[in-house]
Structures are given as structure tokens and as C-alpha cells.
Amino acid sequence: MNDFSINTIPVDSTSGTWFFAMKKLKGQGIIQKAARHNRREIQAELGGTENIDPNLTSQNEILCGPPTADEVPQLARRLMAEAGVSITRHDAVHAVELVFSLPLNIAFEDRLYFVDCVMWVAQWFGGAGNILSADIHRDESQMHCHVLVLPILNGKLNGGKMFGHKPRLMALRDDFHDQVASRYGLKKASARLTGAAKSVVSSMVLGKLNDAADPALKSGIWLTIRDAIEADPTRFAHAMGLQIPAPSRSTKTMAQIFTSKGKGPSFQPTTINIGDVESDRSICSVDFQISPLPTSQPTQPLQDNVCGAEVGLFDPETGEYYDSPEPKKPTGSAG
């Protein structure tokens, strides 16, 4: 077996926030639909959409999986047959899709990062044998990588357990940050801003859009975009590569703090005196070990099992990132 481990690179003043999202894929033909989207084989996407730059589509890259979208569901069926499992429930999870994206203006090779993302997926989601495909998209507003995973666990198809609930998702996010994102100098997304801090960041985002004469300013949904920015500017700031200022400290003096009446019943204070992965190598060409899905955070180092993250402007319905938020649906609308 070839030794293939997480990349370790020197980080030189790299900053930014990592994004990591997951979603369940249900319904007949959903794997093929997702694969066709990820491989840009949907006719409507071949000429580009408002979110896709067709001039950059040639820079997209297949990291793992068959060369065509139609072969991805074929691979899924073959793996299921080999494992002796079948889909019997109409609401079964056919696959789990993970999307990893990068902020703008990174100071490292994106391919190395996404390779490490796929290796991390192999450890947490049942091994390299469960990975159907991995595709890097460089033709949208943010570079990102789609990873399709077949949810086979202990000889059964169990997408619900693989996806998990909030405790598992939190464990995944923490481990991904520790094992992958932090090695590239990336930080976790900031907590949701409130009050004056939110106003400051909102002004930064709107100012940047105005200075760049961004097309969004002339969009028919600009008022909706502006409202979304003012409601939660954090994700927009990250997507635009803006540094969010650290929270301001209290401006009270020590004397004011000690003599303050504080909250609750009033009181009289006492007087106080204050004194290397090769660039052309497919990661699927390497031999891998298959490990079972961990029920908690992995106990082995990531390099022992490898494959061959609240999230920006990510749309969990389409599996894509977009430049502006979609208009909210009218209350009571179907679907």
C-alpha cells in the first residue's frame, strides 16, 4: 500500500474562513442528477448561467470517480450489489453530498486543500470505497469541491446515520477544522454578529460593493440582497474576502467597573483606591484502507486512513454557491 497522507504546507499570513456543508440526496435518479451538475453535463449549464462563468469551466477538475456523470450512478449500483444492499424505502437517502469551499485570495494551491478534504471524507464516511466522485469547481464565485458519498455502513445502506444529527455535525466540523482547515491557516466562521458590530460589517460589505460598482447594485432583487446583508453580513464579508474586526472591548475604566451598580438590586459599593501531492496525479489511483464510520471523533491520526465545511452563500437545494441570495418565497407558497 502506498503511503498517502494529509498535506502539510507552510502557512504564511494566510487568513480566511473555511466552509463545509452537507446534504442528503433522495429520490430516483438523484445521484445521476447531482453528478451531471458536478460534471457540467446539464445542457442549461453548458453555456453558463448567471452563477457559472463558461470561460472558466475548463479549469474544473475531477479528483475522484468515473470520467462521466452517467458512470457515477453505475458505480453506486455496482458497489451496492457487491455489498448485498438495495434501496427499499421510498424516502431512502441514496447519497450524501459534502461541499467544501475556500474564501477568496488564498495563498496556497487549492488542489492540495481539496485533496485533503476528500481524504478526510474517506476517514469519516466509511472509507475510500464509499466515495463516488469528487469534483472541483473553479468557474463560480467561490472555488469549491463536491464530494458524493454512497452511505453504506456495516453492510447496510444507512444515510440517516451517516448524515447524523447536530452532535455528529458539530464533531465533524471541529475535527475538519483541526485536521484540515487549520493546517492551511483557515479559521472557523465567526459567530453571528449583533448590534454595533453587525452595523460595522454591514457597512463594510455595502461599501465594497459600491466601490466595485458590483452588478448586484443594479439587480432587480437588490433590495432583497441589501436586506440579507444587513440581517447577517458575516457570510457576505467572508465571501468577499473582508476581514471582520475583532469585537471592541469595554471602554469603562477600572474605577467605573468597580463602582458600577451593575444589574439587579441596587447596592452601595465600598470605596476602593484604584492604583505533496503531484499536480497531475489522481487521488483515486492510490490503494486505500477502508475503515468503518466513526460514531465519535476519530481516535487514529488522519494519515492512517485516507482517500485516493452556517455556510457562505451555499444553497442546500442546488448544492451550489451563488453571488446573491435568492428572493424569499411568499408565505404559503408550495414547495
- The answer to whether position 57 is within a domain reads yes
Shared domain for 84 and 216, answered yes or no, is no
Mean pLDDT, residues 193-198 = 82
> What is the overall mean pLDDT for the chain?
74
State yes or no: pLDDT of 259 exceeds 60: no
pLDDT at position 44: 65
Q: Please tell me whether residues 105 and 199 are part of one structural domain.
A: no
Q: 299 and 159 in one domain? A: yes
The pLDDT-based confidence of 16 (bands split at 50, 70, 90) is: low
What local confidence, expressed as pLDDT, does residue 50 receive? 65
DSSP E strand boundaries for the chain: 19-26, 61-64, 93-101, 131-137, 144-149, 152-153, 156-157, 314-315, 320-321
Domain shared by 177 and 212, yes or no: no
100 and 140, same structural domain?
Answer: yes
Ranges of H-type helices in the chain: 30-38, 43-46, 71-83, 110-124, 159-163, 166-179, 195-211, 222-231, 234-239, 254-259
Assigned domain for 96 exists: yes
The pLDDT confidence band at residue 275, using thresholds 50, 70 and 90, is very low
* pLDDT value, residue 327: 45
Do 68 and 180 fall into the same domain? yes
Confidence of residue 74 (pLDDT cuts 50, 70, 90): very high
Taking the model in full, what pTM does it have? Answer: 0.61
Task: Give the separation between CA 299 and CA 305, rounded to whole angstroms.
Answer: 11
Q: Note whether residue 2 is domain-resident.
A: no
pLDDT band at 182 (very low <50, low <70, confident <90, very high): very high
Q: What is the DSSP letter of 241?
A: T
Rounded (10°) CA dihedral 134, 124, 104, 313: 90
pLDDT band at 151 (very low <50, low <70, confident <90, very high): very high
Domain that holds residue 144: 19-187+282-321
- 112 & 180 share domain: yes
Q: Do 179 and 111 fall into the same domain?
A: yes
Report, as an integer, the average pLDDT of 193-218: 87
Contact present, 285 and 2 (Cβ < 8 Å): no
Closest CA to 110 of 29, 16, 1, 189: 16
Q: Which residue has the higher pLDDT, 308 or 102?
A: 102
Residue-level pLDDT at 190 = 62
In a domain, 264, yes or no: no
Is the model more confident about 132 or about 161? 132
pLDDT tens across 34-55, in order? 999 999 988 666 666 667 888 8
Total of domains in the chain = 2
Strands 144-149 and 156-157: unpaired
Lowest mean pLDDT among 19-28, 154-163, 306-315: 306-315
Residue 257 lies in a domain: no
64 domain-assigned: yes
Per 3-state DSSP, the chain is made up of helix, strand and coil in percentages (nearest 5) of: 35, 15, 50
Does residue 12 sit within a domain? no
* Helices and strands (H and E) in the chain: how many: 10, 9
Residue 203 shares a structural domain with residue 159: no
Q: What CATH number corresponds to the domain at position 133?
A: 3.30.930.30
CB atoms within 10 A of CB 129: 18
124 is a domain residue: yes
Q: Is 199 in the same domain as 183?
A: no
Indicate whether 79 and 208 sit together in one domain. no
Please give the residue that has the higher pLDDT: either 334 or 143. Answer: 143
For the beta sheet containing 131-137, the strands, ordered from the edge strand earlier in sequence to the opposite edge, are 19-26, 93-101, 144-149, 131-137, 61-64
Residues in the chain: 335
Write down the pLDDT at residue 296.
37
Specify the residue for cell string 441596587: 266
169/226 same-domain check: no
Average pLDDT, integer, range 224-235: 85
Q: Decide: 235 and 325 in contact? Cβ < 8 Å.
A: no
